[in-house]
């Protein structure tokens, strides 16, 4: 049996940052387990720029961002295993993993950091009717084919979903010579960053069809066409608004889901909204000594925030090993209310809060000119004016330690209030 | 002159900029940082973009090398740049930041590697 | 010149071919698709029915009852997952309870063993997640679940190992009577055989009409389904049917042999024999109907929807006989439900028919009833896993993360007899792409392995049919 103080599962941006931070906080024995053939995770196929503005104050491509961490990790001598798949983890922090070189391994960890990231939602998950031909790809799969393997996936393309990956792929496919006919979005607003709508769609005259949905896929062997239609405010199809596209390819960019099979099988509590583990202020899951960070907890829109969150997880996992974390403490819960979909962390042990507590959340709709209101047991402690809020953009706020006047079982709730209400 | 509204794409903040030409001067409003002002003026006078793409790797474990233009290039040079990139094949070892093509497509901007292989 | 040509490599054609391979015959199994089991066999309810449903005296009733009893042995021989989990037909009112009693009496006439009419309490104890309004039901412990396509692939493999020639991508264009039998025309080649067995599913009428006048019609009757994630596969423990009413047969809710949850089907008569498209209205309908059984089915955990075509004959019963106008041409047609359940018995029955036509068939002395066992990595314990990887490191590389399928298993599926040639063929055999991510991650890797093992360029690898290209050259 192998033994490490900290085992990090996943060598993408979350795992890299967590491992580096744990080492900086005095942990010597760390292992990263990565299932792919190289470190860096999904960043390696995100060849576009826009990464690193918060963490490095410069604009980097995905591979450049990853390389900075990989370089630092190697300099620090942190161990990692590539092409290695974790089969299961248990509550005693025993990990079973396999690869072609070491074979079957049992690894005992003092603390585990889950950093498995997320996966894409598929056609089945959103129940798109029609035939089942070749030519339907999730945007990420197409991205891998194009950017990593150098293949072409199609000539005439429609993209369903205007999340960032969909927008980025609209530009990428265009640059690679395909004709992107439209990006189709069910909601009345795009799920992606505004800058991506400008530089990926508007720059190339690709139409963005909001409040539209896919009603049919045609073609027996390969996609031959698709039909879309307009939807009303209840997302119901408006009859007579159907339009056909003659295309050979459909890309799906219809959301990401934290990848939590290992967490679920380990008996870790999952949040029904985020689909990720519930965590406390230390990014520790419901199982003591198992931490989680990055997209496995909740899907982030910027890798910079993944890095920041993962550094906290790495630091706290180190603190856990060094027994610096106070386990006995008043615990309060966070609670999303009107307008807020979820809050991370879900639990806060007051004794471990430093000068301030950072909370992260997403809203459930597009809002203009609202207040984000923080309450402890119905007593308002903070109110922040927000000009523009959208579900596609993660929000965060700080609560000063002095404001955290609460007792065991208290509830920190966050809600939106209209201006003047 | 009427003002023009554009969205800043310098960073993921996506500020809504309002740009007005007053004589020879441009006045930019809505930007949260100085880069927004520079972007706003440039977008009206000479819009530019960083191009990110891939080039083939010869005899490597990886098949494609991610690359980018070191600086933004004029928008109307993007397709010329892509055509030039298409013709390139590179051989490892390569370090991140290595110049692969100088002055790509006559833009006076270098094409550089986005990762090491 | 072959002794026997079997047209159609679905569950019926493969069962017939494998049954024939026990005898000293030169046999060819022909299919128009790029893989076996690529029609109705890959898209149905996957249920081995107990046999109370069919009207006594019909071929359906007789062969269902017999077929059901043969499943344990054949699945064991071929190492195919089969679980005899039992079925429940549930009633929610008095009329439905009366129907249950009718089914029970019918089952007794069909000699179905161990059936029992259960009270509400007994049912809720067996199936705590059912809606409260169930008042009773019919329990048939001999019903089971199976993976029909895996069974057909295993049958094809075993048949090939016993000397059958499998010819895929051979669409039959015409059949002509020749002196000694029949000549079957396909685009690629002409195939001659003394006897022809027509197991062509929804196309069985078209194949029949190549040699005789129109004697029956096969109508495609579409049914749509939802497959839900494994995390909800244990919502029910048995196959749950709704009591049939004047409005329809209802939909079933059942676990699959791989632990997913299956919900469906509806019934819709269509024209096009290739139309396996799903539709939002129909999926909504099966969901609504299924909620009458369990209102808390978490449909947001659906991983995919699919549609299959039943080969419904205008005669009401299976058509298994020599064509009157074409000697030596045997139709095995109209094999709709309970066709899967009856399939092993249909094979026996068909081979008996052939025996009568030929006079006698000589049994082989070297028939191998068993298939080389399939190594399913995740079913091994820790020591076995370690040992397997040591022996073949390819079992140490997980390709499909959702279903934890190793490279070793995929390579094995390619190199078996009747092995996989396409991405979907791999998926049907060893399940990468069947899980939550539906192949998003493993698809490109499966293509690389296929290209490498088959000595092809990756752009030549197709999803399913020859025209279902994935990458552009």
Q: 3-state class of A19 per DSSP?
A: helix
Task: Report the distance separating Cα A148 and Cα A44, nearest Å.
Answer: 8
Task: Report the distance separating Cα C142 and Cα C189, nearest Å.
Answer: 44
Tokens of C67: 């077929």
Contacts of C470 in chain A (CB under 8 A): 134-135, 153
Which of A85, A103, A141 is the closest to C444 by Cβ?
A141
- Answer yes or no: are the C-beta atoms of C307 and C274 closer than 8 Å: no
Task: Report the distance separating Cα C19 and Cα C4, nearest Å.
Answer: 12
Residue of C201, C171, C165, C172 lying closest to C340 (CA atoms)? C201
Coarse DSSP helix, strand, coil percentages of chain C, rounded to the nearest 5 percent: 35, 25, 40
Residue B2's pLDDT band (boundaries 50, 70, 90)?
Answer: low
Give the pLDDT score at C445: 93
Mean pLDDT of the C441-470 span:
94
Task: Report the distance separating Cα A254 and Cα A231, nearest Å.
Answer: 17
Cβ burial, residue C336 (10 Å; 0-12/13-18/19+)? buried
Distance from CA of A146 to the nearest CA of C (A): 10
Tokens of B86: 């298409």
- Chain-chain contact of C469 with A101 (C-beta, under 8 angstroms): no
Is the pLDDT at B1 greater than 70? The verdict is: no
Q: Do domains A1-119+255-325 and A122-254 have the same CATH topology?
A: yes
The chains in contact with chain B, meaning 3 or more Cβ pairs closer than 8 Å, are A
Q: Domains in chain B, start-ordered, CATH in brackets?
A: 4-45 (no CATH), 52-113 (3.10.530.10)
Ramachandran quadrant class, C16 (left: phi over 0; alpha: psi -120 to 50; beta: rest): alpha
Which of A352-356, B30-34, C244-248 ranks highest by mean pLDDT? Answer: A352-356
Cβ burial, residue C165 (10 Å; 0-12/13-18/19+)? middle
Report the DSSP beta bridge partners of residue B4: B19
Task: Report the distance separating Cα A421 and Cα A12, nearest Å.
Answer: 44
Contacts of A100 in chain C (CB under 8 A): 389, 393-394, 396-397
Which of A104, A140, A152 is the closest to C389 by Cβ?
A104
- pLDDT of C207-235, one tens digit each? 999 999 999 999 999 999 999 998 899 99
CB of C169 less than 8 A from some CB of A: no
- Chain-chain contact of B78 with A149 (C-beta, under 8 angstroms): no
Name A406's Cβ contacts closer than 8 Å, sequence gap at least 6. A330, A332, A350, A376, A377, A412
- Chain-chain contact of A134 with C464 (C-beta, under 8 angstroms): yes
Residue B13's pLDDT band (boundaries 50, 70, 90)?
Answer: confident
- pLDDT of C362-371, one tens digit each? 999 999 999 9
Residue A421's pLDDT band (boundaries 50, 70, 90)?
Answer: low
Task: Report the distance separating Cα C374 and Cα C397, nearest Å.
Answer: 17
Q: What is the DSSP letter of C302?
A: E
Residue located via tokens 């959103």: A126
Give the pLDDT score at A194: 80
C238 carries an active-site annotation = no
Alpha helices in A147-269 (DSSP H): 164-175, 194-196, 261-265
Give the pLDDT score at B46: 87
Residue C361's pLDDT band (boundaries 50, 70, 90)?
Answer: very high
- pLDDT of A271-290, one tens digit each? 999 999 999 999 999 999 99
Give the pLDDT score at A125: 66
Mean pLDDT of the B35-55 span:
90
Give the pLDDT score at B12: 66
**Of chain A residues 27-86, which have a CB less than 8 A from chain C?**
35, 83, 85
A85, closest residue in chain C (CA to CA): C398
Give the CA dihedral A247, A252, A253, A259, nearest 10 degrees.
-160
Task: Determine B/A contact with 3+ CB pairs under 8 A as the test.
Answer: yes
Report the DSSP beta bridge partners of residue A342: A362
- Between the alpha carbon of residue B77 and those of residues B55, B65, B84, B85, C190, the distances in Å are 18, 21, 11, 12, 58
- Chain-chain contact of C440 with A152 (C-beta, under 8 angstroms): no
Give the pLDDT score at A150: 93
- pLDDT of C263-316, one tens digit each? 999 999 999 999 999 998 999 999 999 999 999 999 999 988 999 999 999 999
Strands laid side by side in the B89-90 sheet: B89-90, B52-57, B64-69, B111-113, B99-101
Task: Report the distance separating Cα A360 and Cα A69, nearest Å.
Answer: 24
Q: What is the CATH code of the structural domain delimited by C377-460? A: 1.10.10
Residue ranges per domain, chain A? 1-119+255-325, 122-254, 329-421
Share the mean pLDDT of chain C. 95
Which of B12, B54, B64 is the closest to A195 by Cβ?
B12
Phi and psi, residue A9, nearest 5°: -100, 105
Task: Report the distance separating Cα C380 and Cα C389, nearest Å.
Answer: 11
Phi and psi, residue A275, nearest 5°: 65, 10
Phi and psi, residue A3, nearest 5°: -130, 135
CB of C212 less than 8 A from some CB of A: no
Domain C85-143+219-313: which CATH class? alpha beta
Residue ranges per domain, chain C? 2-41+148-218+315-358, 85-143+219-313, 377-460
Length of chain A: 421
Report the DSSP beta bridge partners of residue A368: A388
Share the mean pLDDT of chain A. 94
Is the pLDDT at C88 greater than 60? The verdict is: yes
Residue of A319, A393, A312, A400 lying closest to A356 (CA atoms)? A400
Question: What homologous superfamily is domain A1-119+255-325 in, according to CATH?
Answer: FAD/NAD(P)-binding domain (3.50.50.60)
Cβ burial, residue C57 (10 Å; 0-12/13-18/19+)? exposed
Phi and psi, residue C155, nearest 5°: -65, -45
- pLDDT of C37-55, one tens digit each? 999 999 999 999 999 999 9
Residue of C466, C306, C463, C467 lying closest to A131 (CA atoms)? C306
Give the pLDDT score at C433: 78
Task: Report the distance separating Cα B54 and Cα B71, nearest Å.
Answer: 16
Q: What is the DSSP letter of A270?
A: B
- pLDDT of C108-117, one tens digit each? 999 999 999 9
- Answer yes or no: are the C-beta atoms of A14 and A295 closer than 8 Å: yes
Phi and psi, residue A85, nearest 5°: -110, 130
- Answer yes or no: are the C-beta atoms of A202 and A193 closer than 8 Å: no
Q: What is the CATH code of the structural domain delimited by A329-421? A: 2.60.40
Tokens of C235: 């919502």
Q: What is the CATH code of the structural domain delimited by C2-41+148-218+315-358? A: 3.50.50.60
Q: Kindly tell me the number of DSSP H helices and DSSP E strands found in chain C.
A: 12, 22
Tokens of C114: 């161990």
Render A279-338 in DSSP notation, one character per residue.
--TTSB-SSTTEEE-GGGTS--S-HHHHHHHHHHHHHHHHHHHTT-S--SS-EEEEEE-T
- pLDDT of C159-184, one tens digit each? 999 999 999 999 999 999 999 999 99
Contacts of A47 in chain B (CB under 8 A): 52-54, 66, 68, 114
- Between the alpha carbon of residue C468 and those of residues A135, A181, C129, C433, the distances in Å are 8, 21, 41, 16
C434, closest residue in chain A (CA to CA): A124
Task: Report the distance separating Cα C292 and Cα C281, nearest Å.
Answer: 17
Give the pLDDT score at A279: 98
Give the CA dihedral C204, C210, C213, C217, nearest 10 degrees.
20
- pLDDT of A332-351, one tens digit each? 999 999 999 999 999 999 99
Distance from CA of B88 to the nearest CA of A (A): 13
A203, closest residue in chain B (CA to CA): B75
Is the pLDDT at C62 greater than 60? The verdict is: yes
Distance from CA of B12 to the nearest CA of A (A): 6
The chains in contact with chain C, meaning 3 or more Cβ pairs closer than 8 Å, are A
C280, closest residue in chain A (CA to CA): A129
**Of chain C residues 407-446, which have a CB less than 8 A from chain A?**
436-441, 443-444
Q: What is the CATH code of the structural domain delimited by A122-254? A: 3.50.50.60
- pLDDT of C11-23, one tens digit each? 999 999 999 999 9
Task: Determine B/C contact with 3+ CB pairs under 8 A as the test.
Answer: no
- pLDDT of A116-145, one tens digit each? 999 998 877 677 888 889 999 999 999 999
């Amino acid at each position: 049996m192998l033994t490490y103080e900290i085992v990090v599962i996943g060598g993408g941006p979350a795992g890299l940052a967590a491992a580096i931070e744990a080492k900086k906080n005095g942990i010597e024995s760390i292992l990263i387990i990565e299932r792919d053939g190289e470190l860096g995770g999904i960043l390696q196929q995100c060849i576009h720029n826009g990464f690193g503005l918060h963490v490095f104050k410069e604009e980097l491509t995905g591979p450049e961002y990853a390389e900075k961490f990989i370089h630092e990790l190697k300099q620090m001598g942190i161990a990692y295993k590539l092409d290695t798949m974790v089969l299961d983890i248990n509550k005693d922090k025993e990990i079973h993993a396999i690869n072609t070189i070491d074979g079957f391994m049992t690894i005992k960890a003092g603390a585990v950091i889950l950093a498995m990231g997320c996966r894409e939602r598929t056609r089945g998950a959103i129940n798109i009717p029609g035939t089942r031909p070749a030519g339907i790809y999730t945007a990420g799969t197409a991205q891998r084919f194009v950017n990593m393997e150098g293949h072409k996936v199609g000539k005439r393309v429609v993209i369903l979903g205007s999340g960032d990956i969909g927008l980025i792929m609209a530009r990428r496919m265009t640059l690679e010579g395909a004709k992107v006919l439209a990006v189709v979005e069910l909601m009345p607003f795009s799920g992606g960053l505004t800058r991506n709508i400008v530089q990926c769609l508007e720059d190339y005259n690709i139409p963005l069809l909001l409040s539209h949905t896919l009603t049919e896929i045609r073609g027996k062997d390969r996609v031959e066409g698709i039909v879309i239609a307009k939807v009303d405010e209840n997302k119901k199809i408006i009859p007579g608004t159907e339009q056909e596209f003659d295309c050979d390819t459909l890309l799906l960019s219809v959301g990401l889901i934290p990848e939590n099979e290992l967490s679920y099988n380990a008996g870790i509590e999952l949040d029904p909204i985020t689909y990720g583990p519930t965590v406390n202020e230390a990014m520790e899951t419901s199982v003591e000594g198992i931490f989680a960070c990055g997209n496995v907890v909740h899907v982030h829109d910027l890798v910079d925030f993944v890095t920041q969150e993962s550094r906290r997880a790495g630091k706290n996992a180190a603190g856990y090993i060094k027994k610096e974390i106070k386990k006995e403490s008043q615990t309060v819960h966070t609670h999303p209310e009107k307008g807020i979909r979820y809050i991370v962390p879900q639990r806060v042990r007051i004794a471990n809060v430093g000068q301030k507590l950072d909370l992260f959340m997403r809203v459930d709709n597009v809002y203009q000119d609202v207040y984000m209101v923080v309450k402890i047991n119905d007593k308002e402690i903070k109110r922040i004016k927000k000009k523009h809020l959208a579900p596609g953009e993660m929000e965060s706020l700080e609560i000063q330690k002095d404001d955290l006047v609460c007792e065991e079982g208290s509830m920190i709730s966050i809600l939106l209030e209209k201006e003047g209400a | 002159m009427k003002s023009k509204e554009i969205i800043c794409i310098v960073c993921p903040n996506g500020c809504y900029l309002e740009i007005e030409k007053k004589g020879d001067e441009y006045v930019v409003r809505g930007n949260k940082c100085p880069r927004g002002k520079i972007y706003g003026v440039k977008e009206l006078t000479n819009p530019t973009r960083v191009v990110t793409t891939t080039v083939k790797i010869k005899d490597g474990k990886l098949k494609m090398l991610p690359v980018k233009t070191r600086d933004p290039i004029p928008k109307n040079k993007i397709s010329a740049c892509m055509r030039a990139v298409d013709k390139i094949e590179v051989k490892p070892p390569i370090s991140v930041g290595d110049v692969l093509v100088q002055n790509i497509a006559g833009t006076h901007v270098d094409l550089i590697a986005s990762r090491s292989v | 010149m072959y002794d026997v040509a079997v047209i159609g490599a679905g569950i019926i054609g493969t069962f017939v071919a494998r049954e024939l391979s026990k005898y000293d015959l030169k046999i060819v199994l022909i299919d128009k698709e790029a893989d076996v089991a690529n029609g109705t066999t890959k898209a149905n309810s996957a249920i081995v029915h107990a046999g109370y449903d069919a009207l006594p005296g019909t071929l359906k009733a007789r062969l269902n009852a017999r077929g059901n009893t043969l499943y344990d042995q054949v699945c064991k021989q071929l190492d195919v997952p089969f679980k005899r989990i039992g079925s429940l037909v549930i009633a929610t009112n008095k009329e439905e309870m009366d129907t249950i009693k009718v089914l029970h009496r019918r089952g007794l006439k069909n000699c179905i063993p161990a059936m029992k009419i259960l009270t509400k309490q007994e049912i809720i104890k067996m199936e705590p997640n059912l809606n409260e309004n169930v008042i009773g039901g019919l329990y048939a412990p001999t019903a089971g679940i199976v993976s029909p396509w895996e069974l057909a692939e295993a049958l094809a493999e075993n048949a090939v190992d016993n000397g059958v020639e499998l010819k895929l991508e051979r669409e039959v264009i015409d059949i002509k009577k020749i002196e000694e039998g029949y000549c079957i025309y396909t685009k690629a080649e002409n195939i001659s055989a003394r006897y022809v067995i027509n197991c062509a599913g929804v196309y069985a009428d078209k194949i029949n009409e190549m040699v005789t006048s129109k004697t029956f019609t096969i109508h495609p009757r579409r049914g749509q389904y939802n497959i839900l994630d494994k995390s909800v596969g244990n919502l029910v423990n048995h196959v749950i049917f709704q009591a049939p009413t004047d409005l329809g047969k209802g939909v079933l809710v059942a676990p699959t042999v791989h632990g997913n949850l299956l919900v469906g089907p509806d019934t819709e008569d269509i024209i096009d024999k290739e139309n396996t498209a799903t539709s939002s209205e129909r999926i909504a309908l099966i969901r609504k109907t299924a909620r009458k059984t369990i209102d808390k089915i978490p449909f947001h955990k659906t991983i995919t929807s699919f549609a299959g075509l039943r080969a419904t004959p205008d005669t009401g019963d299976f058509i298994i006989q020599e064509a009157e106008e074409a000697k030596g041409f045997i139709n095995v047609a109209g094999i709709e439900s309970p066709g899967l359940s009856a399939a092993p018995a249909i094979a026996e029955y068909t081979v008996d028919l052939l025996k009568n036509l030929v006079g006698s068939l000589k049994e082989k002395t070297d028939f191998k009833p068993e298939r080389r066992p399939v190594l399913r990595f995740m079913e091994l314990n820790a020591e076995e896993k370690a040992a397997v990887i040591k022996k073949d490191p390819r079992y140490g590389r997980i390709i499909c993360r959702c279903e934890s399928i190793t490279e070793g298993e995929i390579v094995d599926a390619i190199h078996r007899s009747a092995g996989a040639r396409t991405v979907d063929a791999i998926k049907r055999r060893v399940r990468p792409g069947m899980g939550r991510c539906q192949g998003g991650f493993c698809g490109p890797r499966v293509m690389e392995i296929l290209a490498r093992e088959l000595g092809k360029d990756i752009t030549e690898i197709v999803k399913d049919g020859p025209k279902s290209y994935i990458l552009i050259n």
